Structure 1
Amino acid sequence: MTPDQVKLVQVAPISEQAAVIFYDRLFEVAPAVKAMFPSDMAEQRKKLIATLAVVVNGLSNLSSVLPAASALAKRHVNYGAKPAHYPVVGGALLWTLEKGLGEAWTPDVAAAWTTAYGTLSGYMIAEAYSGAQAAE
């Protein structure tokens, strides 16, 4: 990511309402993943917001968030997450941000978030799965 992309991602506010919208969208486009989540999503939404805040704030020093991203990716394997879920989650996240940011969702902001998610999800997939599993 370029320094300008990092700045664009860091200025995008993430609210608790965004977490609701995100999970609603995720379950709409990938209903099968809903079984991986608790029935009471309140705590899960808080975890999402906290995780996004850590990642967004750590983008200027990516190596500072990689250990936590690796651990998170490995935990997700235990929940049943597969490499194929990452693009679906990314799509739901980008859709949520586009809806939430409205006119502030510019092509540059979209590109920055796409790059940020692609970088992090690629790392997480590599950390959590062997080469054969990552191709699934």
Structure 2
Amino acid sequence: MTPDQVKLVQDSFAKVVPISETAAVLFYDRLFEIAPAVKALFPADMTEQRRKLMMMLAAVVKGLGDLPSILPAASALATRHVSYGAKAEHYPVVGAALLWTLEKGLGDDWTSDVAAAWTTAYGTLSGYMISEAYGRPQAAE
């Protein structure tokens, strides 16, 4: 990622933070709409899961300027996801739900440059996580 892309992701995420609860609801609603089978991987009460999602996103976004600093946590998360039943093919669906959520949450602030920056960020991290969890890099957008 370029420094400009990191800044775009960080600046746009700062606009999502005030609506983080709504964004998390939007994300999971969209995820379960486009991939209903994954709903079985999650608890019935999503309150804590939504909180964890937003905390992890905040940590990742904050660390994008120093990518090596967040890779150990991303690796651990990828390994945990395997134990929950996540598969490599889930990553693109999660990415689609995330980008859709950001587009809805940011409204007019969702520009083509912001979309490209988030797509790059997600592709970089999800590719790394897939490689860590399953031993093979794979594009995930």
TM-score of Structure 1 vs Structure 2, range by shorter chain: over 0.9
Alignment match, 1:7: 7
Q: d(CA) in 2 for partners of 1:66 and 1:17? A: 27
Inter-CA distance 60–27: structure 2 relative to 1 (3 Å threshold):
same
- C-alpha distance in structure 1 between counterparts of 2:22 and 2:107, whole Å: 14
SS in 2 for 1:83: coil
2:26 and 2:135 map into 1 onto residues whose CA distance is 32
Equivalent residue, structure 1, for 2:92: 87
Deviation at 1:16, TM superposition (A): 1.5
122-131 vs 46-55, which deviates more? 122-131
Structure 1 residue 130: deviation in Å?
Answer: 2.7
TM-score normalised by length of structure 1: 0.95
Q: How does 1:70-109 map to 2 (within 5 A)?
A: 70-109=75-114
Q: Equivalent of 2:132, from 89, 107, 127?
A: 127
**Consecutive aligned runs of 4 or more in structure 1 exceeding 2 Å deviation:** none
Letter in 1 for 2:112: P
Structure 1 residues 116 and 107: CA distance shift in structure 2, 3 A: same
Tell me which amino acid in the other structure corresponds to 1:70.
S
Q: Using the TM superposition, name which of 50-59 and 6-15 deviates more.
A: 6-15
Instruction: Name the CA distance, whole Å, in 1 between partners of 2:111 and 2:135.
Output: 36
Q: Which amino acid aligns with 1:32?
A: A
The amino acid that maps onto 1:8 is L
Do residues 37 (structure 1) and 42 (structure 2) align? yes
Unaligned runs of 5+ in 1: none
1:23 corresponds in structure 2 to: 28
Matches of 1:134 and 1:22, distance apart in 2: 23
Residue 51 of structure 1 corresponds to which residue in structure 2? 56
Q: Normalising by structure 2, report the TM-score.
A: 0.92
Q: Deviations over 1:50-107 (max 9, x none)?
A: 0000000000000110000000000000011000000000000000000110000000
Query: Number of aligned pairs?
Result: 134
2:11 counterpart letter in structure 1: V
Aligned mates of 1:134, 1:80 — CA distance in 2: 18
SS at match of 1:7: helix
- 2:72 is aligned to 67
